Structure 1
Amino acid sequence: MGKTSQKEKDTNTITRRSFIKKSTAMGLGVYATAGMGPWFIKDALSSSGNLNLYTWPDYSKPEVIKAFEKSTGIKVKVTNYSSNQECMNKLRAARAKGFDIAQPSLTEITLHMEFELYQAMDESKIPNLKNLEPSFYESSKEQGGVIDGKRIGLPYDWGTEAITFNTDKLNYKYGELSYGTMWEPEFNQKVTCRPHSVFIGAGLYLDAIGQVPSNRMYDTYKDETKMRKVYDEILKFLISKKKNIKMFWNNAQDHQLAFLQNGCLIGQTWDGPILTMKKEGKPVTYMAPKEGAMTWVDSMSIVKNAENLEQAYAFINWAYTPEAGAIMAKSTGYNSVVKGVDALLDAKTKQGFNEAYPGNALENLWWYPNEQPWFVPARTEYRDKFQAA
């Protein structure tokens, strides 16, 4: 993503603002900058009624929901899912009814639209769209937000999956920490990971050391033959190291159980749950490994047969205010896509971000590609083999 300035090299810190400049040149998502001034939610302030929100548990934190309800007068009914696949399957079973807004990852929307689960958006109904970072808006078109020339999903936030470790027992510096670290013999029964995404982390490590070349795992998204060739080797590696795993996680709450109750010392996790724990003073930290943190962007999409369209647009419009972005970032530990948020964040949130992505970590992010229809069933097959081994 371009060269780091000398000042940034000297301080070993890349700010959100410098990340914007680097990422915009690449058309990638970035964090927000300050300076947008006051905001208004025109029609949403006079709107009333209900909104059926289908989302990740972390995104329905009371701080977020209460702030939206107070700003708009709209009452929210929340239903949660723990994976993009669960989101898709439930919407399919419901025939895209019963929900107004869903929040799948942008790279999953193409797969979801195989079943016509979302409707095209009218961007003229989202005046606060002007607050969305331009690079996020542009890159989202290729990530799955625009299909057949129609806007289906808009960016909501971004986050990563990287390495968490117990700071009472371990101390790593950026550049020495690797996805391979947690497979060292000393971590027998001390590791947590998610059973399908651990294949990417292990693959990035094996590619970096030249053991299983995969073009940083991007070859595995091109066609099924290439994917299976690489995943066969990763599966062998993971099975040989499986004794290190204490528990698998599948949702944000599992992160807390792993480190606070189940004795895990290290693992491959999402950033949000860990950075939230860190702010609360728990002995954990989150850091990008030298192979690159795995980066995703989650969306806001209007369900095809939504009954509360005015309220759905009100939610999207509200989400693109600096105040809403800051509430989301502070309460979840994830990163806003809205301009002006950085100026509203507390010192601990900013510190957590800088410690998670030191040095050139933001330049070295690994971005999830679009997943083709064949990919998820194949990945699920390997996940099941690993869990059953």
Structure 2
Amino acid sequence: MKMEKPNQKVKTNNTITRRSFIKKTTTLGLGVYATAGMGPWFIKDALSSSGNLNLYTWPDYSKAEVIKAFEKSTGIKVKVTNYSSNQECMNKLRAARAKGFDIAQPSITEIALHMEFELYQAIDENKIPNLKNLEPSFYESSKKQGGVINGKRVGLPYDWGTEAITFNTDKLNYKYGELSYGTMWEPEFEQKVTCRPHSVFIGAGLYLDATGQVPSNRMYDTYESEAKMRKVYDEILKFLISKKKNVKMFWNNAQDHQLAFLQNGCLIGQTWDGPILTMKKEGKPVTYMAPKEGAMTWVDSMSIVKNAENLEQAYAFLNWAYTPEAGAIMAKSTGYNSPVKGVDALLDEKTKQGFKEAYPGDALENLWWYPNEHPWFVPARTEYRDKFQAA
């Protein structure tokens, strides 16, 4: 199902914050403010429990600061297993028959595909009293994005972030409004670009749509049917192959970002926000900015694996994640953004400044939101990714 897309630009200023952005999402087709249906009770106080939790997650989300804070707060010991893509997450859970893990954290738009194999169980919101701290706009919009399947809540928002443009600040300088997804394909950047081999199709497609070369309704047409998707992706593939000499390195995970810019000589690329903003806070010569076509925006989730053995501990993690303190620890250590109320007040000034510089002007009103993906989409996208890499 395709998410609603904002068609009108809203005037803004350069002092927008995470908090004011979250309030604005209701005007951008991302849900309405409503109170989550939760009871005031909690069957057993998992916050005071012990035991173990098997967490299956992205490497960024298993930072020591996050895991240690949860263990200290609850007494629960965490065993972490990482994956580097939503497909890897799904395939391993399928192979394990949804056993061996308690919580997984796929992108929320991927859950519908995962549920084709019944990988997650229904979440009892009554066991998460801190769910009241989740911004209502994220709670509501997540239902349509994939958090509710067949009337059952199977995924809840954990964080949100974007994929946009990173560049080396020692060598380059761009202002908001002039930077584009097309910038990194200019001749001067031969062997200086990094990108992810499948999501670069979206960035290139947004550029080709904005310039009138390959109309695609901001790439949303490619999610409506496989025929429409292939018609557009055929043209994007031709463009990318013609520019492939610019690619120095493909990335697949957060660690690759540092390798690309600090060791392999990349000057510009299409990257995630979190790793780059973390590097920027550490004083590395990089910055991250939304291009004029719009930053590609995703929401990652928390789901309880169907055959989880440690249910009490799983609910303890969900409940802890919805405290402002936990949200702030996650945001400060990863560079991503929390949808929990009260987090902004706990963030350091460098984190706040990095957010403001990443999304100047009307960048937050111009975000490109990932739609829900039909089962045919990922296999078709993988086909085009492989053709690009092999070219």
* TM-score normalised according to structure 2 size: 0.94
Q: How far 1:17 moved relative to its partner?
A: 2.8
Mapped to 2, the partners of 1:23 and 1:378 lie a distance apart of 31
User: 2:49 & 2:357 partners in 1: Cα distance?
Assistant: 41
The alignment covers a number of residue pairs equal to: 389
- Contact kept, 8 Å, 1:31 with 1:335, in 2: the verdict is no
Native 8 Å contact 1:128 1:321 kept in 2: yes
Q: Please give the alpha-carbon distance, in whole angstroms, between the structure 2 residues aligned to 1:72 and 1:12.
A: 39
Instruction: Decide whether the 8 Å contact of 2:147 with 2:154 is kept in 1.
Output: yes
State the distance in 2 between where 1:48 and 1:246 align.
47
User: Using the alignment, how far apart are the partners of 2:37 and 2:225 within structure 1?
Assistant: 44
C-alpha distance 3-129 of structure 1, shift in aligned 2 (>3 A): closer
Shift of 1:347: 0.1
Shift of the alpha carbon at 1:30?
A: 11
Q: Residues 208 and 10 from structure 1, CA distance in 2 versus in 1: closer, same or farther, beyond 3 angstroms?
A: closer
Deviation at 1:24? 1.8
Q: Is contact 1:157–1:336 with CA below 8 Å preserved after alignment? A: yes
Q: Residues 161 and 269 of structure 1 are in contact (CA less than 8 Å); yes or no, is this contact kept in structure 2?
A: yes
Contact 1:33 1:339 (C-alpha < 8 Å) held by counterparts: no
8 Å CA contact retained: 1:121, 1:152: yes
**CA-CA distance at 1:22 after TM superposition:** 1.6
State the alpha-carbon separation in 1 of the partners of residues 149 and 236 from structure 2: 33
Query: CA 1:353–1:48 in 2, change beyond 3 Å: closer, same or farther?
Result: same
Deviations 1:44-76 (A, max 9, x none): 332110000000000000000000000000000
CA 180–36 in structure 1, closer or farther in 2 if over 3 Å, else same: farther
Taking structure 1 as the reference length, what is the TM-score of the superposition? 0.95
Alignment identity in percent? 93
Q: Distance in 1 between matches of 2:241 and 2:346?
A: 45
Q: Specify every segment of 5 or more residues in structure 2 that has no aligned partner in the other structure, as ranges.
A: none
Looking at structure 1, the residues matched to 289 and 339 of structure 2 have their Cα atoms a distance apart, in angstroms, of 21
Distance 2:7 2:344 in 1: 20
Q: Residue 191 of structure 1 contacts residue 267 of structure 1 at CA under 8 Å; is this kept in 2?
A: yes
Find out whether 1:351 has 2:365 as its counterpart. no
State the distance in 2 between where 1:117 and 1:34 align. Answer: 24
CA apart distance, 1:19 = 1.3
Contact 2:122–2:154 under 8 Å retained in 1 = yes
Q: Are residues 135 and 383 of structure 1, via their aligned partners in 2, closer, same or farther at CA, if it must alter by over 3 Å? A: same
* Deviation at residue 155 of structure 1 after TM alignment: 0.2
Superposition deviation, residue 15 in structure 1: 2.0
Q: Decide which moves more: 23-32 or 85-94.
A: 23-32
- Give the 3 Å change call, closer, same or farther, for CA 12–208 of structure 1 in structure 2: same
Decide whether aligned partners of structure 1 residues 192 and 134 sit closer, same or farther in structure 2, where only a CA change above 3 A counts.
Answer: same
Q: 1:42 to 1:352 in 2, by over 3 A?
A: farther
Query: Any gaps of 5 or more consecutive residues in structure 1?
Result: none
Change (3 A) 1:11 1:42: farther
Given candidates 321, 324, 347, the residue that maps to 2:323 is 321
Q: Contact conserved, 2:38 with 2:126, CA < 8 A, in 1?
A: no
Q: Secondary structure at the match of 1:275?
A: helix
